[in-house]
């Protein structure tokens, strides 16, 4: 066993640290790269994204020809740690970079790679993922949005929903049914479409936090060229699932955000005096904070297992599902802990927002129940019910 990072990763850390010291301005620091971004902030974030891209610091795992550094998992981890440490926002396109790009790299034509990857990296083009539908969430493969071949085109009709950044997006990775007669997983194709195509209607959806963070997308006789197809016809399920195995570094880094929240909550408790005594002398508060701290540290430990597996070239296994479930539960725990520690003040500002926001962690990208089904069947080998 050895939990030290290799010297090359530590050298890269110094390099990143130096660059951030020189380039991260106060204007950029602490901005949120997700969700309901104010137009002014979006401009600032686009500028920051461009700067990161010029330094090849957006998607360092990508091959050099597409603007990456062909970096291994340890460097990815170090970069995330350093960005977090100083409150540097990540790039604008997390879904595009982490979920969509890997599919384009694996299945895209040379033209598609050339056309899409660089502008995605620089933040010039924002992408969204059009998978879920009103009637197809956990059971994604039952999706109904149809694309019919017509000459050199596909004609798309249907509806997508809960598409993060849909209302900002320039492009969309869209799952459509191209063969209604095939078994449900076998009749799906993946298309890369321009969101300005006529017939697309995007309506922002407001989340329970009040933010306009995702959208619903309606398609009415939307005509796209056949060159929009990503991967083989009717193999869209395989194309879409490819992304899921590429998220290991991102999943392993989930502890960074939640541990920062825990540290923030501890600081907040330290600054309070209640009934004439420092709040942190209250035994109930101490034990709740200690438990949250403990779980945050355990999240780092499971993340480390995942990182080590990736660094040693082991294929991604069940641990990704485990790391994700653990993370959602710890996010929930921290949110509840904020209530136990701050009382009614946890209904306000960032803790109030966080209490609501973290409900999404166990829903988005596959619910906790669906992940438990995966663990039960694929890891524990239990029979289907």
Partner 1 sequence: METNYSAEQQAFRDSLRRYLSDKCDQSFIRENWDEVVPHTEELWGNLVEMGVTALLVPEQSGGLGMGMVDMGVVMEELGRRVNPAPVLASCVGATSAAAIYHCNDLLATLADGSKIGTVAFEEADKTLLSWQQPGVSIKSGKLNGTKVRVLDAMAADVLFVTAADGVYLIAADADGVTIEATEIVDGSRRIADVVFEDAAAEKVGELADFAPVIDRLLVGLSADALGAAEMALFTSLEYAKEREQFGVPVGSFQAVQHMLAEMFQQVEMAKAGLHYALWALDDAEAEEGHRAAVLIKAFIAEEFPHVGAEAVQIFGGAGFTWEYDIHLFYKRLLSAELLLGGSDVWLEELARIAIDR
Ligand X SMILES: Cc1cc2nc3c(=O)[nH]c(=O)nc-3n(C[C@H](O)[C@H](O)[C@H](O)COP(=O)(O)OP(=O)(O)OC[C@H]3O[C@@H](n4cnc5c(N)ncnc54)[C@H](O)[C@@H]3O)c2cc1C
The contact set with partner 1 (CB under 8 A) reads 1-6, 74, 266, 269-270, 280, 283, 286-287, 289-291, 293-294, 297-298, 301-302, 304-305, 307-308, 311-312, 319, 322, 325-326, 369, 372-373, 375-377, 379-385
Site string for ligand X, 54-93 (x = CB under 6 A): ----------------------------------------
Q: Report the residue number, 146 or 332, with the smaller CB distance to partner 1.
A: 332
Between 116 and 357, whose beta carbon lies closer to ligand X? 357
Cα distances (angstroms) measured from residue 221 to each of 170, 188, 383: 19, 18, 43
Contact (Cβ atoms closer than 8 angstroms) between residue 143 and residue 177 = yes
**C-beta of 176 vs 341, nearer to ligand X:** 176
Measured between alpha carbons, how far is 201 from 126 in angstroms, rounded to an integer? 17
Interface with ligand X includes 243 (CB under 6 A)?
no
Closer CB to partner 1, residue 45 or residue 266? 266
The whole-angstrom separation of Cα 130 and Cα 118 is 21
Distance CA 56, CA 279 (A): 45
Buried-exposed string 302-337: b where 16+ CB fall within 10 A, e elsewhere: bbeebbbbbbeeeebeebbbbbbbbbbebbbbbbeb
When binding is defined by CB under 6 A, the residue of 61, 98, 103, 164 that contacts ligand X is: 164
DSSP state, 33? -
CB of 1 to partner 1, least distance (A): 4
Q: Rounded distance, CA 326 to CA 299, Å?
A: 7
Name the residue number minimizing CB distance to ligand X: 137
Stretch near ligand X under the rule CB under 6 A, chosen from 128-136, 150-158, 269-277, 297-305: 128-136
User: What distance in Å separates the CA atoms of residue 231 and residue 202, rounded to the nearest whole number?
Assistant: 26
- Contact (Cβ atoms closer than 8 angstroms) between residue 122 and residue 257: no
The verdict on 364 binding ligand X (CB under 6 A) reads: yes
Q: Is 314 a catalytic residue?
A: no
Two tokens at 371?
């992940």
Query: Which residue among the candidates 247, 268, 329, 336 is catalytic per the annotation?
Result: 247
Active site residues: 247
Residues that bind ligand X (CB under 6 A): 95, 128-132, 137-138, 162-164, 214, 360, 363-367, 369-370, 373
């Amino acid at each position: 066993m050895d939990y030290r990072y290799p010297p090359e990763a530590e050298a890269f850390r110094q390099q990143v640290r130096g660059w951030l010291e020189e380039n991260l301005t106060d204007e950029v620091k602490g901005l949120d790269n997700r969700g309901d971004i104010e137009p002014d902030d979006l401009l600032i974030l686009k500028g920051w994204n461009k700067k990161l891209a010029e330094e090849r610091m957006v998607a360092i795992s990508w091959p050099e020809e597409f603007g990456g550094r062909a970096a291994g998992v340890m460097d990815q981890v170090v970069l995330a740690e350093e960005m977090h440490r100083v409150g540097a926002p990540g790039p604008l396109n997390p879904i595009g970079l982490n979920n969509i790009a890997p599919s384009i790299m694996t299945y895209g034509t040379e033209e598609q790679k050339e056309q899409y990857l660089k502008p995605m990296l620089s933040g010039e083009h924002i992408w969204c993922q059009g998978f879920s539908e009103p009637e197809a969430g956990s059971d994604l493969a039952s999706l109904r949005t149809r694309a019919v071949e017509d000459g050199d085109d596909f004609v798309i009709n249907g509806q997508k929903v809960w598409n993060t950044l849909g209302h900002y997006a320039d492009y969309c990775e869209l799952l459509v049914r191209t063969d209604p007669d095939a078994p449900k997983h076998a009749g799906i194709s993946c298309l890369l479409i321009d969101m300005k195509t006529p017939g697309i209607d995007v309506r922002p959806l407001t989340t329970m936090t009040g933010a306009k963070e995702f959208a619903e997308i309606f398609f009415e006789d939307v005509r796209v060229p056949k060159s929009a197809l990503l991967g083989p016809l009717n193999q869209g399920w395989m194309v879409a699932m490819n992304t899921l195995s590429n998220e290991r570094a991102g999943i392993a880094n989930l502890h960074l955000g939640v541990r920062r929240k825990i540290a923030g909550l501890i600081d907040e408790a330290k600054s309070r005096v209640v009934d004439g005594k420092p709040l942190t002398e209250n035994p109930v508060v101490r034990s709740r904070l200690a438990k949250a701290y403990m779980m945050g540290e355990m999240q780092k430990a499971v993340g480390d297992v995942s990182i080590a597996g990736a660094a040693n070239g082991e294929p991604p296994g069940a641990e990704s599902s485990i790391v994700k479930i653990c993370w959602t539960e710890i996010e929930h725990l921290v949110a509840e802990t904020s209530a136990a520690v701050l009382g009614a003040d946890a209904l306000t500002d960032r803790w109030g927002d966080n209490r609501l926001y973290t409900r999404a962690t166990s829903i988005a990208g596959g619910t906790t129940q669906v992940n438990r089904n995966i663990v039960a069947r694929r890891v524990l080998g239990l029979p289907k019910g």
